[in-house]
Amino acid sequence: MEGKHLLSGAKRLLFGLSIPAAAVLLIIYEAGGGTGMTCPFYRMTGLYCPGCGSGRAVRALLEGRIWASFCCNPLLWLLGPPAMACVLREYLRVLFPSLGWKPLILSQRLVIGAAIIVFAFWFLRNLPGFSFLAPSP
């Protein structure tokens, strides 16, 4: 029975507060001039990982600078919305079991396709001819 895997009322309340609390903390951090963090992969290798520039992209987005956000990490704009939609759907499914939604199951092709996109982006953004994929300062 699927219902036994759902959270109890108190746990569901705490779970329900997790995403709004994280969003508020992010906004407070960024509003206070958050310094961000240096990517450990970049620090060790000098190469950009697929996530490099994501923090700056989110900050630019919160400031309403859409193009600057895109330039910091285009992959975030490509895969971020579908990933956020999946997270939001599962969040709502757990928070409101009365909706009767089944757990989201992603197809193997979709996951492999997304992985190929991530690895291709990772590889290309470190090549001199594709420096436009590198995170903007």
pTM of the model: 0.72
Closest to 98 in 3D by CA, of 1, 25, 15, 6: 6
The total number of structural domains in the chain stands at 1
Q: Give pLDDT, residue 116.
A: 96
Q: What number of CA atoms fall less than 13 Å from residue 41's CA on the CB side?
A: 9
- The pLDDT of residue 7: 62
Each residue's pLDDT expressed in tens, for the chain with a length of 137 residues: 455 555 677 777 777 777 788 778 777 776 666 666 678 899 899 999 998 988 888 888 888 999 999 999 999 999 999 998 998 898 888 888 888 889 889 999 999 999 999 999 999 999 999 988 988 77
Q: DSSP character for 103? A: P
Q: For residue 1, what pLDDT is reported?
A: 43
Q: Are 79 and 110 in contact (CB under 8 A)?
A: no
How buried is residue 57: exposed, middle or buried, by Cβ count under 10 Å (0-12/13-18/19+)? Answer: buried
CA 79 to chain centroid: 8
- Integer Cα distance of 81 and 72 in angstroms: 16
56's CB contacts (< 8 A; 6+ apart) are 36, 69, 72, 73, 135, 136
Domain that holds residue 105: 2-133
